[in-house]
Structure 1
Amino acid sequence: MIPVREIKEKAREYGVPVSSIERDYAQNWLLKNLAHINMALKGGTGIRKVYIENYRFSDDLDFTLLEDISAEGIKNEIKAAVQRSREESGISFFEDLLLMENENGYELNVYFQITLKGKNRMRIKIDITRLDKEKMLIPPVERKIIHPYSDDLDATIKVYSLEEIVVEKIRSLFERTRPRDVYDVWFLWDKISVEEVLKILPEKFKIKNVEMDIKDFEERRESFKKAWNSSLRNQLRDLPEFDEVFSKVFEEVEKMCLETIKKMER
């Protein structure tokens, strides 16, 4: 395990709380061993962990299964991954895992300690979507885990393409009010193939029966704005100005959705 001094130095370097660095570091070791399970990493954590070094920090690990695995099988696989992560990293991971089923798959918390002592523990939430609840439209890719720390972690993991991550982020804008989705679409827009995004956007909305209601999205602008700072200030040093970000995202998403709606009506 890296020294506590390094964790504090990284927190100063990135301008985030020590707890954000602790979780980021522990996530990497957990991901190394979760990679043995046949599932693909997705979401904001997928962006930071394999695509863009120094991207915003993310609290949860989100996956989609690539095969049918029972709840008991998932729990056993994750327990084994936690054990290996503790042995390899020296981090105090705990094995009291409570796997819960939900309408889309499974979720559980993995607890750990680095600088905290006694009964105080940090957690990493893991969300796993079942194969029948989310259809991947672009094959996952295998990429090296980005590990900006001084110890040796050399591993790869299956992950969504950036285009499919962005499409799910766009869909999420119409489902719930999470500022991080606005930020992610804005940051990634110039780094993706918009053509590829357009190809799979209609099917992604159809899978979850989500309506492309541009007016509703625009009307929630103030709700996104109110949560902007509190949601993102612990995840990155330089938080961009909300109005500029939202305006850009709204402009691009509106164009894309209008084009998609036209195609669907033909």
Structure 2
Amino acid sequence: MIEEKFIDLFAHSSKLRDKMVAERDVVLTYALQLLSMSGLLRALAFKGGTCIRKIILGTSGRFSMDLDFTALKGRQPDDFVLEMMEVLNCEFHGITFRLEEGWRITQGGRSFTVTPEYSHGWNAKGAFDLQVSMREQPTLPVRSVPQIEQKYHKHLEFQPDTIPCLEVHEVIAEKVRSLYQRARVRDFFDLYLFGKRPFNKPLVRALVVLKLWQVRDVFEPDSFLERMDSGRYDWQDLSRLVAADFRVDERTILEACIKGFSFLKKLSPEEALIAKDSKAHRQKAARDELVAWCQTLRSNLKN
């Protein structure tokens, strides 16, 4: 484990209110390395807030306190947990990881979560959630992507591995799906940041429709955007995950998300058909055609 003084510097340069947020970011880097070296990541695709910061947005993204993956193969939660127990019960470069048998079923049975504990020289007890979604297979090809360089990387005992990740358009679509099903401030913030970057809007829209079809949830974009505007949100949930001098107004974030993702309302006839079929799942041929369209569109993009 890198020395505490380097985490102090990392927390200071990141302008964090809580040093332990920086400590968690570093510990998750060690956990990712351990999972990668074990080979377990070959069956998973990285996604979620930590993926967005470590792989896509870097220092412009918020911090995250856990790990999220999508399972790539049709395996049962207990198979994954047994493998994770083999990997996450060890000492790794001065961090002792512990994972006891057991898991929590989440997302209505479509995901499971384990909570590895850890300790090191100056933190006797920490823990983080590791969630694996079993709800669907990725629509786009998974790619192994290098982690964005962080200031503390030069003090690590290893060079961080490349990590198999959902493609960035699919990461954005996952964020929209998450926000559609449960409104969290951190998801608004992630979409606000993505809205400042170029991405293919028709591809994201089609992926959102497909993701909600997979979980039998009907996509109604008009009501979704209306709910965005009328909801009440706990903005304090975000404060410890961003720089202390972050000053963007909450209303600005909401309005940027509503405006930036208004393209979701422009469903194509094919997307509208799949959205209406989310409960019955009778239009599987049309769904497969939309999947193929997404894959072709992505393969034709420059990067």
TM-score over 0.5 for the pair: yes
Give identity over the alignment, percent.
21
Instruction: Give the whole-Å Cα distance in 2 for the aligned partners of 1:265 and 1:220.
Output: 21
Match of 2:94 in 1: 90
Q: 1:55-70 to 2 correspondence within 5 Å? A: 55-70=61-76
Distance 1:47 1:81, change over 3 A: same
Matched AA of 2:13: E
Matched AA of 1:212: E
| Kept after mapping to 1: 8 A contact 2:98/2:118 | yes
What 5-or-longer segments of structure 1 have no aligned partner? none
Give the deviation of 1:219 after TM superposition. Answer: 3.9
Any idea what the Cα deviations from partners look like across 1:40-64, whole Å, max 9, x if unmatched? 0111111112122212111121111
Distance 1:75 1:239, change over 3 A: farther
2:209 matches 1:202: yes
User: TM-score scaled to structure 2, two decimals?
Assistant: 0.77
Instruction: Give the whole-Å Cα distance in 1 for the aligned partners of 2:247 and 2:126.
Output: 25
Q: 1:1-266 to 2 correspondence within 5 Å? A: 1-16=1-16, 17-35=18-36, 36-37=39-40, 38-54=43-59, 55-83=61-89, 86-87=91-92, 89-102=93-106, 103-114=109-120, 115-117=122-124, 121-130=125-134, 133-146=135-148, 148=150, 149=152, 150-151=155-156, 152-189=158-195, 190-208=197-215, 209-215=217-223, 217-221=225-229, 223-224=231-232, 226-228=233-235, 230-237=236-243, 238-254=246-262, 256-260=263-267, 264-265=271-272
Instruction: Give the whole-Å Cα distance in 1 for the aligned partners of 2:180 and 2:248.
Output: 22
Give the deviation of 1:215 after TM superposition. Answer: 3.3
Give the deviation of 1:262 after TM superposition. Answer: 5.6
Instruction: Give the whole-Å Cα distance in 2 for the aligned partners of 1:97 and 1:265.
Output: 43
Distance 1:9 1:184, change over 3 A: same
Cα RMSD for the two superposed structures:
2.2
User: TM-score scaled to structure 1, two decimals?
Assistant: 0.87
Give the deviation of 1:159 after TM superposition. Answer: 0.5
Any idea what the Cα deviations from partners look like across 1:214-239, whole Å, max 9, x if unmatched? 33543454545x412x1111111025
Instruction: Give the whole-Å Cα distance in 1 for the aligned partners of 2:10 and 2:47.
Output: 25
